[in-house]
Amino acid sequence: MTSRKHIVIITPGFPANENDTTCIPPLRDFVQLLSAKDDIKISIISIQYPEEKSNYRWRNIDVYSCGGNDAIFPIRFLIWREAVKIFNEINKELKVDIIHSFFLSDINTMMGKEVKESNWYLRFINFNKFKVISLSKPQKELFNRITNSVSSIIPWGLDKNLIPPLTNTERKIDIIGVGSLTSLKNFSSFINIIAKVKYSKPDIRCILIGDGPLKNKLIKQVEDLKLESHITFAGSIPRDKVFEYMMKSKILLHTSTFESFGMVFIEAMYYGLYMISNYVGIAEPSNRWKVCKSENEMVNDILQLLSSNLKHDSVLQYPMENTVESYLNFYSSLD
C-alpha cells in the first residue's frame, strides 16, 4: 500500500490492559502484528468488553470500549448506537478507510458461531454491501448454504514470537481439554470418553482447562463416574499457563460440536500434541490428528495413541505473518 490506511476494527471484546491475556488472544496477536506496519493506523471499538465504558491505549493503539457488558434488548440497541457515535467521532478526527468487523462494514471476518443458521440477524443483512471472510473450509461451506456470500478464506495464524517456545518437558498428562465449559464445547462427552478409556488404562491422567456455566454440572459428572483422581479441573488460567500444560500433555481431546476455526488446534500442534476431535474448524485427518464420528472412535484412537511411541515435534501450520499479509492484500484490493 502506498498511503497510510486507517482501519477501524469492531469486536465484541478486547483486552482491558496488558495483563488481560484471556480476552480473544488471536485477535490481540493479529492487531499487534498489523499495527507494526508503518502504513497502517488502527482504532478499535469494543462492544461488550471491557465492561465499563472507557477510552484507553493498548500498545499504542486507541481502544474505545462501549461497555456493553452483554446487555440484553432493548439496552443492546443503545450500545450499538454508542458504537456508531464513537465511530463517527473517530472518522471525523481521521478519515476511516476500512471497517473490519469481527464476529458478524467493509470487511467482516466470521470468528465464531454467528455463521450458524440459528443467528437470526443473517436474514436482515445484505451481503452484497461488504466482503465476508471465513476462517476454514467447513465454515465457508456452512455459510454458503445459508447466504452464498463468503468471498474468501483466510486462516487465522499463530505468532510464535508472542508465546513461549516449546521446551522438552516430561509429558505426564495423557489428555488435555481446553475451552469454555459450555454445551457447545461438549465436555460432557469428554468425561464420558475418559470413563471408557479408564477401563483399559486405569492410570489415565487428564486435565480440563476453562470455566463456564456448566462447571458444577461437569464436576458432578466426574464425581458420579468416580473420575476425581483422573480428571483435574484447572479453571480459567492465563494463556501462558495453558501453554505450559500443553507442553506437559500428550493428546488434545476436543469434543466441541462446532468450531469456526479452532485456535486451540494450531496452538496444540505448535506445542507438539496429537489431536482427537470431531470434524470441526480446520480438522483434517493425519498421523497427528484423528478426526472421529463417535465417542467410541475417540476411545479407540486414544488407546492406540497412548500405546504408541509418540514424537512431540512442533508444527506451525499457520504463521500469523501469513494471516496479516493476506489481510493487507485484501485491504489493498478494496482500493
Domain count, the chain: 2
Confidence of residue 296 (pLDDT cuts 50, 70, 90): very high
pLDDT of residue 1: 41
143-191 pLDDT tens trace: 777 676 666 889 999 999 999 999 988 999 999 999 999 999 999 999 9
229 and 283 both lie in a single domain: yes
145 and 261 both lie in a single domain: no
pLDDT of residue 106: 52
139 and 23 both lie in a single domain: yes
75-123 pLDDT tens trace: 778 888 899 999 999 999 999 999 898 865 455 676 655 444 444 445 5
The answer to whether residue 315 scores a pLDDT higher than 70 is: yes
* In the block, residue with C-alpha cell 462501549: 66
174 and 301 both lie in a single domain: yes
CATH of residue 230's domain is 3.40.50.2000
Residue 312 located in a structural domain: no
pLDDT of residue 126: 55
What SS3 class is residue 302? helix
59 and 89 both lie in a single domain: yes
Residue 123's domain comprises 5-157+319-333
107 and 176 both lie in a single domain: no
pLDDT of residue 105: 47
Residue 314 located in a structural domain: no
The answer to whether residue 59 scores a pLDDT higher than 80 is: yes
The answer to whether residue 276 scores a pLDDT higher than 70 is: yes
Angle of helix 239-247 relative to helix 263-270, nearest 10 degrees, comes to 50
Residue 78 located in a structural domain: yes
Residue type present at position 287: N
Q: Average per-residue pLDDT in the chain?
A: 89
Residue of 97, 109, 104 lying closest to 43 (CA atoms): 97
What SS3 class is residue 180? coil
pLDDT of residue 2: 47
Q: How many C-beta atoms surround the C-beta of residue 253 within 10 A? A: 28
The arithmetic mean of pLDDT across residues 304-321, rounded, is 96
Angle of helix 215-224 relative to helix 187-200, nearest 10 degrees, comes to 20
177 and 138 both lie in a single domain: no
Confidence of residue 331 (pLDDT cuts 50, 70, 90): confident
260 and 170 both lie in a single domain: yes
Residue 82 located in a structural domain: yes
44 and 171 both lie in a single domain: no
Confidence of residue 333 (pLDDT cuts 50, 70, 90): confident
pLDDT of residue 195: 98
Residue 208 located in a structural domain: yes
DSSP 36: T
pLDDT of residue 114: 45
Radius of gyration from C-alpha coordinates of the chain: 21
User: Does 219 or 128 have the greater pLDDT score?
Assistant: 219
Confidence of residue 74 (pLDDT cuts 50, 70, 90): confident
14 and 135 both lie in a single domain: yes
Residue 313 located in a structural domain: no
Residue of 22, 327, 69 lying closest to 180 (CA atoms): 22
Residue 153 located in a structural domain: yes
For the chain, the first-to-last Cα distance in angstroms comes to 9
The answer to whether residue 334 scores a pLDDT higher than 70 is: yes
35 and 135 both lie in a single domain: yes
Residue 35 located in a structural domain: yes
The arithmetic mean of pLDDT across residues 243-270, rounded, is 96
Contact 5, 27 (CB under 8 A): no
231 and 195 both lie in a single domain: yes
pLDDT of residue 15: 94
Residue of 183, 185, 234 lying closest to 205 (CA atoms): 234
The arithmetic mean of pLDDT across residues 35-55, rounded, is 93
Residue of 304, 263, 63 lying closest to 163 (CA atoms): 263
Contact 16, 50 (CB under 8 A): yes
